[in-house]
Amino acid sequence: MKEAKKRVRRTPEEARALILEAAAARLQSEGPEGLQVKEVAAVAGVAHSTVLHHFGSAEGLRAALIAGMGNRLLEDILEVFKTRPVGKGDTEILFRVFETLSDKGHARLLAWMMLKGDQGAASGDSQMQHLFHQLIEEVSAVAIMEQEDQSERSWRKARQHARFTTMLAAVAAVGDGIAGSFLARQIGLSDSEARGEFREWFGQLLNSEADAEICR
């Protein structure tokens, strides 16, 4: 007679984290279509009902993934600002944005949710707004510190430039996440060029534009 498999007891927080970790792995390897409740439950090693208990539905699971992505990305970016403020030629933040939105599959998930009219996409709006507003304020503060003119007009100009730069970087990262691999093949870029050298070049381009704007 087979010995019954010992049940693993987890706190609600541990179970939720385990399921989200499994969902993130499925997202990166299989894309949004891989986020079916049964499949995620199997990877996490929990019952189908456990996933539903913590997230309610597949839509709830996807929304939680997006919210978690926003939180982690914001923490990463703020840590970069804390340890070494953005300066000339610094592309670390850009790499963080590309890694999270493009390499880990979140851009595909966002696009998929919006195209399907998934309610989880709307529920993640405030999270994403908070992320981008924080980033814009930090970028603006660094830009204004490099200027002698600390007037309100200079602050408005710095914030506008930060918004435009953030928009450009986000659009590029989302586009890269959705069609980057396909376009790189058509253009003839190797994987290392598309993921490394192009991003480095793009970061330097954004920094050079920022320097030009400050000098005007």
**For 140-198, what is each residue's pLDDT tens digit?**
777 676 666 678 888 888 888 888 888 888 889 889 988 999 999 999 999 999 988 99
Question: With pLDDT > 70 as the criterion, what percentage of the chain qualifies?
Answer: 79
Q: Decide if 104 contacts 28 (C-beta within 8 A).
A: yes
pLDDT at 6 over 60: no
Shared domain for 44 and 85, answered yes or no, is no
Q: Helix 12-30 vs helix 106-116: angle between axes, to the nearest 10 degrees?
A: 90
Shared domain for 134 and 116, answered yes or no, is yes
Is 162 contained in some domain? yes
User: At 87, is the secondary structure helix, strand, or coil?
Assistant: coil
pLDDT at 126 over 70: no
Instruction: Give 89's pLDDT tier (boundaries 50, 70, 90).
Output: very low
Q: Decide if 63 contacts 124 (C-beta within 8 A).
A: yes
Q: What gap in Å lies between CA 108 and CA 177, rounded to an integer?
A: 6
Shared domain for 151 and 119, answered yes or no, is yes
Shared domain for 44 and 76, answered yes or no, is no
Q: What gap in Å lies between CA 121 and CA 23, rounded to an integer?
A: 16
Shared domain for 72 and 122, answered yes or no, is yes
Is 186 contained in some domain? yes
Instruction: Say how many domains are in the chain.
Output: 2
Q: What gap in Å lies between CA 86 and CA 92, rounded to an integer?
A: 8
Does residue 140 or residue 107 have the better pLDDT? 107
Domain assignment of residue 206, given as a range: 65-215
Is 2 contained in some domain? no
The enclosing domain of 14 has a CATH number of: 1.10.10
Is 107 contained in some domain? yes
